[in-house]
Structure 1
Amino acid sequence: MHAQDGHVYLTSFVYSVLEGFILLLRAIYLAILFSPCITMAPFVDSLGVEFRKRWLHIVHLTLEKAGPAFVKWGQWAATRPDLFPRDLCSELAKLHANAPAHSFSFTKRTIERAFGGKLSEIFEKFDEKPVASGSVAQVHQATLKYRYPGQKIKPIVVAVKVRHPGVGEAIRRDFMIINFVAKISRFIPTLKWLRLDESVQQFGVFMISQVDLSREAAHLSRFIYNFRRWKHVSFPKPLYPLVHPSVLVETYEQGESVLHYVEELEGHEQIKSALAQIGTHALLKMLFGILYSLQLFFSLFFHISAGNSWF
């Protein structure tokens, strides 16, 4: 028994040392990568508009090279002009463009491992080239042969979202480093204005939820139910049981980026006003849904607590 405990302890110790070494190497790499941004930061407001534009572009490129956690943080920060300068948000919005894609062989292997069948048994047609690639996953267009594991249906076009290799571990490690740096930034005057410690706390919850694609499927199902009577708002429908933490098969929905409407519809105030109205109503619907869920949770919590004489 003691020998077994000693073996477990030794294995755990070796793993911790190895993990610490990997984190150290990663931290050194990131320190070198981010050094131009940090070095230029004190002079951003004093050396003119062109210098600031150059610095913003370097920030964008640095986050892009730093990996999925940093790209996701940049994408999230781009939507928060209440926390960051507007020109920084505009530059970071470019991170929503296509990220590097992984190989088709990895996609095929991941799908077959997730669903326990050959790719050709699940899909009538599968485009090897991804339609789009993000920081966490990439999307392929395909035609579903039948609803796994065997019920025949009419072939339908679907979107197949496949998580990138090693992205979960990479994000976990990088977030540990981000959290550490964010805490240190509070004591550096040139970085204090970025309010990194405040944003990282909010970002952490968002980031973790992005890695598990089965959780995304659950969120989509909730949105579909909440907006079931809305004709102007639609969501991709997860096709159960083709849902897995690393692979999500959903209906293929046509759409345009919001940025397209913002940039291309200059002068079409009536259309922009209609889109803004739909977006505002949809946002309020989501917020009311969250508030209603919280109300149900607390009502149930206090009811159970009172029933068990906790209060």
Structure 2
Amino acid sequence: MGELFGGRLLRLANTRKLAAISNQATRRSQYRNYGTTFTVGLRLPQYRVYSHYKFNSGGKVPFLSPSNAWKRLTGKCSASGRTLPYLTRMAQAVSLALSRSNLIVPGVSGLTYGGNLALAQRNLVETKDYYPSQNSLYMTSQKVHSNFVSSTLHFFKEGVILLVRTLYLAVLFSPSIMMAPFADSFGPQFRKKWLEVVHSTLEKAGPAFIKWGQWAATRPDLFPRDLCIKLSKLHSNAPEHSFAYTKKTVEGAFGRKLSEIFEGFEEEPVASGSIAQVHRAFLRSRYPGRQVKPLEVAVKVRHPGVGDSIRRDFMIMNLVAKMSNFIPTLNWLRLDESVKQFGVFMMGQVDLAKEAAHLSRFIYNFRKWKDVSFPKPIYPLVHPAVLVESFEQGESVAHYLEEIVGHDHIKSKLAHIGTHALLKMLLVDNFIHADMHPGNILVRVSQNKTSRKRLFFNKSKPHVIFLDVGMTAELSQSNRVNLLEFFKAVARRDGRTAAERLAKET
């Protein structure tokens, strides 16, 4: 008979153990006096829940006679005596339902009878932080079921999206891949057409592939020069999103209308990259009564759905990279590691609030430099999807290095500033701008005393502005020491040591 009253008890919240102490006597009168005792304990030792039920079946099966089963739920609560408060009706229903396979009949009947439940603790008020509400057991079971269903649906949904995305990329890249072997065979017009196809394909493929195109444009040592020139358009002319989305995102981020924040806002973006696009705007003055010149700012707005797009694309890339490990001729490239690291850097760029923090750190690191600067974030107008920063005037470094013929003096100055800035990031600060393509480097030259045409003859010193610092890198201590030893070996013209240090990093 004692086994009949044992039942099943579900775990609740932080419940960790269940002790069932059953009276082993067989006489019905003894069950009337003692019954079955359940003790439920939480993990914290100072809190204990004791719920003890005294069953009286009256010779009937208990779940068929719930009134009799609950009629005597009074008084006895623990071995120490009758010192505990009454059970609530909901607790009676839940506990009886859990101890029987039939959930409905005992639960409904149990609502009409009294019982007892004790919370043996030092402060009764504190229990609100540790114990759920009366109906939480039912709600928890519902949430678990709901979460399981939603997780399963989300899993299948993501699987379908990844499959469709893979098929889309396969179809999208097919023309450029099939045209590549004949790019040099059918004349310059065919090659020009192929370059257009490659450029448009990367634009349509999404931010991860646009970022790859930006990187490829800076590597004429690996790719044909005409391809690098074509892909360089991706540095500042990536696909744009609509102004309606920009307005909605800015207003949603800051909880105010666009006209309340900015005195003027240009609808056409100044530039657009793989992660976000930039609009020029003028902040409203904090002092409306004063004649203050509006502050010119750059408003960086993240493209819609860019986070999910990058995550999915890198899942596909990572799968392809892992498959390449089984090809002997590609195994040495370790593509899976490269894709994984690149994916981490790309996902870091999605959060524009992180970029604001990076800007503040770079500004502090270069606070004593007169020829290097970074945009200043405008707090509190900083959000993961929107970043407002100072608008920096200047032209792309590519204009001075490629479009202007001659004037080696200005090019030498730019090379000197850029090299010293990179070495400071790398060796001194250990905080490196990891996305320094030409689209993210502006050059500004003072024109107070000279015209633009006479600029280079007066040997004016250029000023370099680094933009888009969302992608950064830091070396581990061992890698940093190894790099320092490499530069020391180069300075001492110790080729053997330099080669050994370089081999450690490969």
Q: TM-score, normalising length from structure 1?
A: 0.82
Identify which range, 28-37 or 289-298, moves more after superposition.
Answer: 289-298
1:81–1:89 Cα contact (<8 Å) kept: yes
Q: Which runs of 5+ in 2 are unaligned?
A: 1-139, 433-473, 479-506
How many correspondences in the alignment?
Answer: 293
Residues 1:262 and 2:396 are matched in the alignment: no
AA partner of residue 33 (structure 1)? L
The correspondence for 1:85, drawn from 213, 223, 231, is 223
CA distance, structure 2, for counterparts of residue 292 and residue 99 of structure 1: 27
CA distance, structure 1, for counterparts of residue 336 and residue 198 of structure 2: 18
The correspondence for 2:246, drawn from 98, 107, 111, is 107
CA distance, structure 2, for counterparts of residue 38 and residue 74 of structure 1: 15
AA partner of residue 134 (structure 1)? G
Identify which range, 1-10 or 23-32, moves more after superposition.
Answer: 1-10
1:137–1:161 Cα contact (<8 Å) kept: yes
Identical positions, percent = 66
Q: Which residue of the partner structure matches residue 446 of structure 2?
A: none
AA partner of residue 59 (structure 1)? V
1:137–1:163 Cα contact (<8 Å) kept: yes
The correspondence for 2:419, drawn from 262, 280, 284, is 280
Q: Which residue of the partner structure matches residue 163 of structure 1?
A: 302
Identify which range, 205-214 or 20-29, moves more after superposition.
Answer: 205-214
Identify which range, 208-217 or 197-206, moves more after superposition.
Answer: 197-206
Q: Which residue of the partner structure matches residue 18 of structure 1?
A: 157
2:234–2:273 Cα contact (<8 Å) kept: no
1:147–1:153 Cα contact (<8 Å) kept: no
Q: Which residue of the partner structure matches residue 309 of structure 1?
A: none
CA distance, structure 1, for counterparts of residue 236 and residue 333 of structure 2: 24
Residues 255 and 188 of structure 1: CA distance in aligned 2, closer, same or farther (over 3 Å): farther
Q: Which residue of the partner structure matches residue 179 of structure 1?
A: 318
2:365–2:429 Cα contact (<8 Å) kept: no
Q: How far off is 1:175 after superposition?
A: 1.6
CA offsets, 1:202-252, max 9 Å, x none?
A: 422321121111111111111111111111111110011111000000001
User: Which structure has the larger Rg over C-alpha atoms?
Assistant: 2
1:146–1:155 Cα contact (<8 Å) kept: yes
Using CA pairs under 8 Å that are at least 6 residues apart, name the structure with larger relative contact order, 1 or 2: 1
Residues 164 and 291 of structure 1: CA distance in aligned 2, closer, same or farther (over 3 Å): closer
CA distance, structure 1, for counterparts of residue 329 and residue 175 of structure 2: 14
Q: How far off is 1:122 after superposition?
A: 1.2
Aligned residues: CA RMSD: 3.3
1:69–1:175 Cα contact (<8 Å) kept: yes
Q: How far off is 1:98 after superposition?
A: 1.3
Q: How far off is 1:119 after superposition?
A: 1.4
CA distance, structure 2, for counterparts of residue 134 and residue 236 of structure 1: 17
2:360–2:377 Cα contact (<8 Å) kept: yes
Residues 269 and 182 of structure 1: CA distance in aligned 2, closer, same or farther (over 3 Å): same
2:321–2:335 Cα contact (<8 Å) kept: yes
Identify which range, 95-104 or 276-285, moves more after superposition.
Answer: 95-104
Residues 61 and 195 of structure 1: CA distance in aligned 2, closer, same or farther (over 3 Å): farther
AA partner of residue 223 (structure 2)? P
Q: Which residue of the partner structure matches residue 350 of structure 2?
A: 211
- Bigger share in helix: 1
CA distance, structure 2, for counterparts of residue 38 and residue 223 of structure 1: 41
Residues 147 and 287 of structure 1: CA distance in aligned 2, closer, same or farther (over 3 Å): farther
AA partner of residue 28 (structure 1)? L
Residues 1:28 and 2:198 are matched in the alignment: no
Q: How far off is 1:159 after superposition?
A: 0.6
2:183–2:194 Cα contact (<8 Å) kept: no
AA partner of residue 166 (structure 1)? G
Residues 194 and 61 of structure 1: CA distance in aligned 2, closer, same or farther (over 3 Å): farther
CA distance, structure 2, for counterparts of residue 178 and residue 239 of structure 1: 36
CA offsets, 1:160-209, max 9 Å, x none?
A: 11111111111111121122223334556998899854642342232112
Residues 1:233 and 2:372 are matched in the alignment: yes
CA distance, structure 2, for counterparts of residue 284 and residue 265 of structure 1: 27
Residues 204 and 147 of structure 1: CA distance in aligned 2, closer, same or farther (over 3 Å): farther
CA offsets, 1:14-70, max 9 Å, x none?
A: 1111111111111101000111233345x3698488576655543322111111221
2:325–2:331 Cα contact (<8 Å) kept: yes
Q: Which residue of the partner structure matches residue 360 of structure 2?
A: 221
Residues 215 and 289 of structure 1: CA distance in aligned 2, closer, same or farther (over 3 Å): farther
Secondary structure of 1:105 counterpart: helix
Residues 27 and 52 of structure 1: CA distance in aligned 2, closer, same or farther (over 3 Å): same
The correspondence for 1:125, drawn from 240, 257, 264, is 264
CA distance, structure 1, for counterparts of residue 207 and residue 233 of structure 2: 15
Residues 1:96 and 2:235 are matched in the alignment: yes
Q: How far off is 1:2 after superposition?
A: 3.8
Moved over 6 A (4+): 188-195, 292-298
AA partner of residue 312 (structure 2)? R
CA distance, structure 1, for counterparts of residue 268 and residue 158 of structure 2: 35
Q: How far off is 1:265 after superposition?
A: 2.0
CA distance, structure 2, for counterparts of residue 70 and residue 297 of structure 1: 32
AA partner of residue 159 (structure 1)? A
Residues 183 and 260 of structure 1: CA distance in aligned 2, closer, same or farther (over 3 Å): farther
